Every structure is written in structure tokens, then in C-alpha cells.
Amino acid sequence: MAASETVLRLPLGSLFSSCHLPSFSLNSSPLLSFKPSSSRKRRALRCTNSMARGNTFHSSDCVFNGKKLQSTRCRCQRNDVEENARSTLLPSDGLKSDLDEMPLPVNGSLSSNGSTQSAGTNSIEDEAWDLLRQSIVYYCGSPIGTIAANDPNSTSVLNYDQVFIRDFIPSGIAFLLKGEYDIVRNFILYTLQLQSWEKTMDCHSPGQGLMPASFKVKTVPLDGDDSMTEEVLDPDFGEAAIGRVAPVDSGLWWIILLRAYGKCTGDVSVQERVDVQTGIKMILKLCLADGFDMFPTLLVTDGSCMIDRRMGIHGHPLEIQALFYSALVCAREMLTPEDGSADLIRALNNRLVALSFHIREYYWLDMKKINEIYRYQTEEYSYDAVNKFNIYPDQIPSWLVDFMPNRGGYLIGNLQPAHMDFRFFSLGNVWSIVSSLATNDQSHAILDFVEAKWAELVADMPFKICYPAMEGEEWRIITGSDPKNTPWSYHNGGSWPTLLWQLTVASIKMGRPEIAEKAVELAERRIAIDKWPEYYDTKRARFIGKQARLYQTWSIAGYLVAKLLLANPSAAKFLTSEEDSDLRNAFSCMISANPRRTRGRKKTQQPFIV
Ligand code: GLC
């Protein structure tokens, strides 16, 4: 535990909660105070601003549920709100040199020179860095994240003015690779504060450990003193999100970023902090909690990840499983052994083995497997059924029969009783490579598949979020006639430039960076000229998306991460995980015991005990 760290835990009604004070130095420190807001029912993380233009910090109070805790405040007078909004946006020490050159930072504002078009590659990169820096959001003077989109011409902002956890990951990695660590550290520690929040929807609270989808820095009048303002971190756990979807991926990405921070900076003090360890465990407990499920995969509702609208991915979508596996592997690396965590670590190890077996065996699809499904017997009531999930061969969609190349394969989108979602989902597949959820052979086969199907999956702009699009009656029923998710648009077969960074990590990991190089080169032809859209539409990604934001931060950051990694491929290891020998052994024991492989063969003599 870092010496300067303070961890305070307080009861929150019957719920467990905690107030963690990050170990910031005083002059770069945002000041924390917890107290219930009078104007809003739920709590928000507060930093009180008053008095001085120059952001003077005073030792002060941290108030939580009426109890005073030790903290500090930054103060500014009410009539100085405008000026102080700027003065409190001063960069913290670690970022000073780079940020000194920035236009005056205002949370998520685009400066007039931010949209200059570029010709050469370097100027595209330079422009991207300018735009990324302009998207930085400050909380009491410290950078803590990046706004989702900075489109000056957008008429409806919706929640694109917030810091999304998943959207910040490529931003955070770009900053890490650039040696700018403060913003990532702040992001990790502040989102951790939000984890313990009281969150409800119509009197129902989701499990403790959930991380928000996004948060916003608000400047609000100070309770009881109109001459003062305070900054408030206001999280959204899905209770305001369109469709009220819980962001299952947020906590998983948070763990992955935390591990990358430690690997890249060499500073493991953050992950070793007691509050951070508790945060990891809370996420794990939520994910590993027993339910009704027979499968080791995580059961989630539709829209619980990057695809945050109804797209028929409820159940056990691949993206969540890949992130889940990845987060388990990263957490295992970071958890400090202590009394009381043995059960959690045992549960984690068991789940890793079962999950990797399940995905590798039952989600895998290639020509051979399609042929096997095509000849499946159904209604097998037995312990050693080959067609365990009772998949009817008629489910094999007609598009797939011609689409599957002879060489290559991929992990399907979802598996449920009597249902396989045969769509190709990019993020789940590439992250299965990155995390080693897929075997080495499968990882190569996925890249073979991407290469073989380049015209469909990449075409004019990398990378299709899924393939193919749902059309007609299927679209109407499954999306609920969603006008944003029309065929070949947005989540329904749209092309998302941000996915470039994950594709890059995967192709570097497999020693095939030329795949990413080709994709980056394609993106560079248009992305800056098109003003960094959120997504592209049509089968070949020819149009800027119907309702796509421009200056979408994760499109910008995704491009930068891809460039930085291609220039320095060894840095990809901050994000990748290799399969260890324990897992490999466990996997081979399970595979040889699987009836699908052993029917007609002798049973294995060596059961693996976990
Ligand atoms: C959309 C995307 C989601 C993203 C958000 C902010 O809702 O579907 O993945 O996090 O926009 O960019």
C-alpha cells in the first residue's frame, strides 16, 4: 500500500461503500468530498471550488452521508465561474510541457484550429494529437478522461459530452504510449471512486462493483452558498442511458487498463493500493457470482457492451466473454496474495479454464465445423451428446455457406440453447486473440479469415463491427425497428475506425503486423478528411455514418494507438496476455475428455482437478 494513500470506509445504509482518497500531491490534487446533493437524490463525487483564480487549495472537509472526513478543497467565487472554469482546467504537473502548448483548455471544446485538414501522415498524426488533447476533461484542474465526441456542429449532444469508460481505453493507451501517465492514473482512481456509488433504477440497485458507462464533470452551485461553485463527478450506470443498459464491459476494461498502466509505467503502486485491490475484487465478485447458469460464460442483457442498443446479442455475447477472460487473466496477475482471497483466486482459476474450454470448443466455426453442424443429430438426451446445445442444422444461414473460406475461421457471436449466432463480431474475435482466449491456431485462423474476407470486413474503412447486417423482418423484430441500426449502419454492420487499435494489437501479437499496416493505410486515406467520424455506413463503408458524430475521440485515439504500436510493436505486450502452462495443461485435459472428441475412443485416464 502506498504510504500517502488514505482509505476510508463507511457504511452506506445496508450497502458496503468506501471513500478512497487517491494519493495525489497537493498542488496537482483534485479534492474529494463526498456528500449527498440537496438537488439530486443520488450522491456525486464533489470537488468544491471557491475563492482564488489561481486554484488555491485549502485543507478542508470530506463529507459523506453527513459525516466529515479529512480532505481538501479548491475554491472559486461565483462571479468568477467562467474564468475559474478555465483556471481550474490547468494541467497537472506530469502533463505540463505538452499541455502548455495547448489552446486554453475548456472541457471538451474544439478550438478553431482543431479541425485543420492534413495531407501527409505526420500531419494526420499531429492533427490527431491536437484533437485528442482538446478532448481532455479536467476535474479540479487535473486531467481525468476524454470526452466521447467533440463535434462542434452536432445539434444533439446526447451523452457524447461525457467520459465513457470504454471510449477512454484507446485514449488512455495513447497517453501511456506517449509517456503521459497522469491522466490514466487519475482516470483509474476516479472511476474507482464511482464504483461504489449508490445507483438505482426505479428502486432497484444493480450489484456493487459495477463501473459506470460514463461520467460527466459538472460545475454546480455549492449547497448553502450561492457565491461558490463546486465540481461534481456525475456517473451514469445505465440509469440515464438510452435503453437503461448496464455497462458490463466498463469494469472489465478498467481492469485491462489498470494492468496496462502498471506494465507500461513500471509503477505497480497503483494496482497494489488497498482500494484498487478492493475495486478489482468487487468487479470479480460481481462477475463470478453464482446464478442459474449452466455455462461458464457471462450471462448479460442486450446492449451491455460497445453495442449498447438492442442488436440480439443478449445471452453470452462473444465481446463480453473475451473481455471477461481478459480481465480475469489481468486480475490474476495483479491480485496481491492475502488471507481471504484464496477462494476468489480459486474461483477465478476455475472459471478461466472452463471459460476458455467452452469458447474454444463451442464458439469455434470453420468449414469443418459447419460441416459437422450440418450433419448434427438432434434431440440427444444423454450426458455425452455431441450436439450438446441441440442446434438444428437448418439454422446454418445461407449467407454463411458461401462466405466461409476454406482457410480460416472465427468465433461465433453467441451461443444459447438451440441457438448459434453465426454473425462475425470483430471486437470479440480480435480481443480473443489479444487475451489468448483463442488458441494459437485459432488466432491465426481468425486473421486468415479477416484477410480472406477483407472486401467485406474492411473494404474502404476498417473495421466492420459485425458481419453481416440484419435486414428486413429480422431487423424489425430483433432491433425493434431501430432507425439508427438500419442495415449496414451503426451497430448493424457499420464500420468503426476505433476498432483499428484492437486489430493492430492482435495482428502484432500474432507476428502479422502487415494486416494492421494495410488497415491503417486505408484509414489514412479518408479519416482526417472526413473529420474523424464515429462510424461509416454501407456494405463497403463508403459513407460517413448517417448519425455519426464527427471528431469522435475513440476514432482519433484508435488511429493513434495503431500508429504508435506499429512504430513500436514491442509495446503491444502491455495489452496482450500469453496462455500459461497451467491453463494449457488444464485445457488439454478437458479437451481429451470431451465426448465430441472421444466418442468411440477410450476415455481419458487423467482427469484434471481444479
Ligand atoms: C455509442 C456506442 C458506444 C460508445 C458511445 C460513446 O453509444 O455504441 O459503444 O461508448 O457511443 O461513444
Q: Looking at the DSSP assignment, which residues form a beta bridge with residue 71?
A: 60
- In this structure, is the dihedral angle defined by the CA atoms of residues 464, 468, 470 and 472, taken in order, positive or negative? positive
Closest C-alpha to ligand 1, atom 9: 306
Residue 197, domain member (yes or no): no
Residue 144, domain member (yes or no): no
Q: pLDDT at residue 25 above 50?
A: no
Residue 25, judged by CB atoms within 10 A of its CB (0-12, 13-18, 19+), counts as exposed
Q: Mean of the pLDDT values across residues 242-264?
A: 91
User: Residue 114: what residue type?
Assistant: G
Q: Which atom of ligand 1 is nearest to the CA of 166?
A: 10
452 to each of 333, 407, 424, 445, 517, how far by Cα in Å?
36, 8, 13, 10, 16
Q: Which residue has the cell 504500436?
A: 565
Q: pLDDT at residue 283 above 70?
A: yes
Could you tell me the distance, in angstroms and rounded to a whole number, from the CA of residue 471 to the centre of ligand 1? 22
Residue 595 has a pLDDT of 57
Could you tell me the distance, in angstroms and rounded to a whole number, from the CA of residue 247 to the centre of ligand 1? 11
Q: Which atom of ligand 1 is nearest to the CA of 549?
A: 12
Could you tell me the distance, in angstroms and rounded to a whole number, from the CA of residue 249 to the centre of ligand 1? 12
Q: Please give the residue range of the domain that contains residue 284.
A: 247-365+403-590
Could you tell me the distance, in angstroms and rounded to a whole number, from the CA of residue 558 to the centre of ligand 1? 14
Q: Which atom of ligand 1 is nearest to the CA of 148?
A: 12
The closest alpha carbon to 452, from 414, 509, 402, belongs to 402
Residue 341 has a pLDDT of 85
Residue 543, domain member (yes or no): yes
Residue 447: CATH number of its domain: 1.50.10.10
Could you tell me the distance, in angstroms and rounded to a whole number, from the CA of residue 199 to the centre of ligand 1? 21
Q: Which atom of ligand 1 is nearest to the CA of 309?
A: 8
Residues 6+ apart with CB under 8 A from 580: none
Closest C-alpha to ligand 1, atom 7: 308
Q: pLDDT at residue 148 above 60?
A: yes
Q: Mean of the pLDDT values across residues 586-606?
A: 58
Residue 278, domain member (yes or no): yes
Residue 330, domain member (yes or no): yes
Confidence band of 594 (pLDDT split at 50, 70, 90): low
pLDDT in tens, 567-582: 999 999 999 999 878 7
Could you tell me the distance, in angstroms and rounded to a whole number, from the CA of residue 194 to the centre of ligand 1? 19
| Total number of domains constituting the chain | 1
pLDDT in tens, 454-486: 999 999 999 999 999 999 999 999 999 999 999
Q: Do 343 and 373 touch, CB atoms closer than 8 A? A: no
Q: What is the mean pLDDT of the chain?
A: 80
Q: Which atom of ligand 1 is nearest to the CA of 162?
A: 6
Q: Which atom of ligand 1 is nearest to the CA of 242?
A: 7
pLDDT in tens, 381-433: 888 888 889 899 999 999 999 999 999 999 999 999 999 999 999 999 999 99
Q: pLDDT at residue 104 above 50?
A: no
Q: pLDDT at residue 282 above 80?
A: yes
Residue 241 has a pLDDT of 65
Residue 232, domain member (yes or no): no
Question: How many CB atoms sit inside 10 A of residue 86's CB?
Answer: 16
Q: Which atom of ligand 1 is nearest to the CA of 491?
A: 8
Assigned C-alpha cell, 63: 463529507
Could you tell me the distance, in angstroms and rounded to a whole number, from the CA of residue 308 to the centre of ligand 1? 7
Residues 6+ apart with CB under 8 A from 168: 145, 146, 187, 257
Residue 315, domain member (yes or no): yes
Q: Which residue has the cell 500500500?
A: 1
Residue 48 has a pLDDT of 61
Ligand 1: residues with CB < 6 A are 148, 164, 166-167, 306, 308
Closest C-alpha to ligand 1, atom 4: 306
User: Residue 434: what residue type?
Assistant: V
Q: pLDDT at residue 142 above 70?
A: yes
Closest C-alpha to ligand 1, atom 6: 148
Closest C-alpha to ligand 1, atom 12: 148
Residue 274, domain member (yes or no): yes
Q: pLDDT at residue 86 above 80?
A: no
Lowest mean pLDDT among 30-39, 162-171, 279-288, 350-359: 30-39
Could you tell me the distance, in angstroms and rounded to a whole number, from the CA of residue 153 to the centre of ligand 1? 18
Separation of alpha carbons 115 and 551, rounded Å = 9
